[in-house]
Each structure stands twice: as structure tokens, then as C-alpha cells.
């Protein structure tokens, strides 16, 4: 039975959410889904409800997902060795077959099913569908004192985004369908490329001029030198934190992706703690949030 105290608490939450619902209705929000939120059953269910609620109140969510651990698990079962260079999986043709099977099949369809079970209408696709994500091969440059010119390292079917055709995504969102995108691009000769999901989410947010880019991660957000979460940053402050080494390691690519998005016109980018239940809703609909928001410049 709902007590008066509990009912009052619910009413307060809804009242706090109202201005955000009004502000973001009709706006596109790109969410990169990954980390613990993709593997913990309770977090998976809360994420699906968050996305469906966003759509129900008039927003246009687009989900981009990763799947590195699932790819690694299947490669191991198939006795295919996983090799990494600078944190990126070396992707042979054989490995790419597994990547497509996992990202475009198993993981993508599970997310679509979760969203549909939560009352939404979701559709899964990869960048090869309609060739909407055009890609080219990503090669790593490595500089060493022994070499006059940088060494170019070929890591196979690992790609970078060249162009995005937004028509498919726009058609889906305008018809109240939630697109669920696997980060696989297509090359000029029809070849497949595995692309970092953060980068795909960021580029989608940029070309769609999204209201928000949200990157779910397994950390509380951007931390300062004292280990405390910095809740709000502008581009200039982010650059300073990178320059003095406060932002480093695995957080650098995510922050770089967020920074690129806001500099390209996305209103705000958020690095969100996906280990917190309903983290997406808490970041969008509450004053406090559960991560780090990055803006191009201060407003007001």
C-alpha cells in the first residue's frame, strides 16, 4: 500500500522531472550502452525502462552498444586468440565474423528484446544496414626513437567513421521506434569494420545535432586529483585537466569523444555511472545527476 509519505516523495520526484521533460521533449538523445549496465540483470532491466520512459515522455533516444567482453568470450570458446594493440582488438577476417555475430546478432537482439519487453518499440541495426555508417580502416601510428618516420601498424578490420547517413535513424525515431545500433561500419568495397562504440555514439550525436550524448561507464565520472567526481565542466576546463594529467588512461578516449561532440554542436555530453540503477533517468531528470556533464561553455 502506498503511504502518504511515499506518495509525497513520488510527487516531488515527478515535479522535479517536469521541467526537464518539457525541455527535452522532441529532442534526440544518443546513449552509449556498455559496462556493468550490459551484464548485470537488474541494471539491464532498469536501463531498458529508462529508455522506454524517455521515449514515452516525448524524447527520441538512440542506443549505441558495445560488446567487447561478449566478443572475447565467444572467441575463447572458438579457440581464436585475442590480441590487442594500444587497447584495440586486432581484428582479422575470422575475428570480424565473430564480431558481427556477437554485436549485430546476440547482443543487439538482446537489447532490442529488453526494450520491447519494457513496453517500447525497438529495432536493431548495424551500420551496414542501408550503408548508413561509412567507414575506413583505422591504422595506428607508433613513434619510436629508433625510427625516423612513425611505424604504421595494421590492426585489421578496425574502422573509423567516415560518414553517416541519418535518414534511417530519423525515419525510425519519427515513428516512435528506438534504434539500437551495433557499431559496425561498411567500407568502400562492402567490407565490415569494427568501430569503437563511444566513437560511433559521438559521431551520431554530432551529425544528428543531438540534445545530449550519454556515455555509460563503470566509473562515477570524471575525477579530480582528490578522487572526487567533477559534476560539471566546460571544454576549456576539460583541456586543462587533460593537460595537467588529471584526466588520463582509459578515461581519455571517453572525454575526448564527449569534448568533440559538444564542440561540434551537441548541447551537452555526460559521462554516467552505469553501475547505478536508473542512472540515465537520474542524469537527465534530476538536478543532481549521477555523473559528469560537459558543456562547450558556461550558460547563464
Backbone angles phi, psi at 32, to 5 degrees: -90, 120
Domain limits, the chain = 26-295
State residue 159's pLDDT score: 92
Q: Is 249 helix (H, G, I), strand (E, B) or coil?
A: coil
pLDDT exceeds 70 at position 256: yes
Cβ-Cβ contacts under 8 Å for 79 (sequence gap 6 or more): none
**8 Å CB contact between 61 and 54:** yes
- The model's confidence at residue 1, banded by pLDDT at 50, 70 and 90, is low
State residue 142's pLDDT score: 65
For the segment 266-279, the average pLDDT, to the nearest whole number, is 91
Q: Which residues are paired to 154 by β-bridges?
A: 139
Q: Is 60 helix (H, G, I), strand (E, B) or coil?
A: strand
**8 Å CB contact between 164 and 133:** yes
State residue 134's pLDDT score: 97
Give residue-wise pLDDT tens across range 182-211.
999 999 999 999 999 999 999 999 999 999
Q: What is the DSSP string of 86-155?
A: TTEE-B-HHHHHHHIIIIIIIIHHHHHHHHHHTT--EEEEETTGGG-EEEEEEEEEE--TT-SSPEEEEE
**For helices 251-263 and 235-243, angle between their N-to-C axes, nearest 10 degrees:** 150
Q: Which residues are paired to 149 by β-bridges?
A: none
Grid-cell match 518539457, residue found:
22
CATH number of 26-295: 3.40.1160.10
Q: Please state, rounded to an integer, the average pLDDT across all residues of the chain.
A: 88
State residue 151's pLDDT score: 65
State residue 154's pLDDT score: 78
pLDDT exceeds 80 at position 52: yes
Grid-cell match 525502462, residue found:
49
Query: CA-based angle 142:183:284, to the nearest 5?
Result: 105
In the chain, what percentage of residues exceed pLDDT 90? Answer: 51
In 3D, which of 61, 57, 58 has the Cα closest to residue 32? Answer: 61
Distance CA 292, CA 269 (A): 8
**pLDDT, greater one: 148 or 212:** 212
Cβ-Cβ contacts under 8 Å for 245 (sequence gap 6 or more): none
For the segment 154-183, the average pLDDT, to the nearest whole number, is 93
Give residue-wise pLDDT tens across range 111-153.
999 999 999 999 999 999 999 999 999 887 766 555 555 667 7
Name the CA dihedral angle for 64, 65, 68, 72, rounded to a multiple of 10 degrees: -130
**8 Å CB contact between 255 and 263:** no
- The model's confidence at residue 254, banded by pLDDT at 50, 70 and 90, is confident
Distance CA 77, CA 101 (A): 14
State residue 145's pLDDT score: 57
Query: CA separation (Å) from 209 to 84, 103, 202, 283?
Result: 33, 25, 10, 19
For the segment 1-30, the average pLDDT, to the nearest whole number, is 83
- The model's confidence at residue 248, banded by pLDDT at 50, 70 and 90, is confident
State residue 235's pLDDT score: 85
pLDDT exceeds 70 at position 300: no
- Kindly give the pairing relationship between strand 122-126 and strand 178-182: parallel
Give residue-wise pLDDT tens across range 53-112.
999 999 999 999 999 889 889 999 999 888 888 777 888 889 999 999 999 999 999 999
pLDDT exceeds 70 at position 178: yes
Amino acid at each position: 500500500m502506498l503511504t502518504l509519505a511515499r506518495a509525497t516523495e513520488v510527487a516531488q520526484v515527478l515535479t522535479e522531472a517536469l521541467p526537464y521533460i518539457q525541455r527535452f521533449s522532441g529532442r534526440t538523445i544518443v546513449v552509449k550502452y556498455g559496462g556493468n549496465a550490459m551484464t548485470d540483470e537488474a541494471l539491464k532491466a532498469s536501463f531498458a525502462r529508462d529508455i522506454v520512459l524517455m521515449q514515452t515522455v516525448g524524447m527520441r533516444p538512440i542506443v549505441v552498444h558495445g560488446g567487447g567482453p561478449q566478443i572475447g568470450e565467444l572467441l575463447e570458446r572458438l579457440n581464436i586468440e585475442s590480441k590487442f594493440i594500444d587497447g584495440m582488438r586486432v581484428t582479422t577476417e575470422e575475428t570480424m565474423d565473430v564480431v558481427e555475430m556477437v554485436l549485430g546478432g546476440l547482443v543487439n537482439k538482446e537489447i532490442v528484446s529488453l526494450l520491447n519487453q519494457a513496453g517500447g518499440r525497438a529495432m536493431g541495426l548495424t551500420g551496414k544496414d542501408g550503408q548508413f555508417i561509412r567507414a575506413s580502416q583505422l591504422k595506428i601510428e607508433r613513434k619510436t626513437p629508433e625510427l625516423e618516420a612513425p611505424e604504421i601498424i595494421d590492426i585489421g578490420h578496425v574502422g573509423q567513421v567516415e560518414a553517416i547517413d541519418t535518414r534511417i535513424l530519423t525515419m525510425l525515431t519519427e515513428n516512435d521506434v528506438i534504434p539500437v545500433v551495433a557499431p559496425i561500419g561498411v567500407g568502400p568495397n562492402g567490407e565490415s569494420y569494427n568501430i569503437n562504440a563511444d566513437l560511433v555514439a559521438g559521431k551520431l550525436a554530432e551529425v544528428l545535432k543531438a540534445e545530449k550524448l550519454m556515455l555509460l561507464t563503470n566509473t562515477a565520472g570524471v575525477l579530480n586529483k582528490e578522487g572526487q567526481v567533477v559534476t560539471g565542466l566546460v571544454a576549456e576546463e576539460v583541456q586543462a585537466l587533460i593537460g595537467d594529467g588529471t584526466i588520463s588512461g582509459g578515461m581519455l578516449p571517453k572525454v575526448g569523444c564527449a569534448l568533440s561532440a559538444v564542440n561540434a554542436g551537441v548541447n551537452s555530453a555526460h559521462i554516467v555511472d552505469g553501475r547505478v540503477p536508473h542512472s540515465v533517468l537520474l542524469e537527465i531528470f534530476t538536478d543532481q545527476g549521477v555523473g559528469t556533464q560537459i558543456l562547450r561553455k558556461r550558460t547563464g
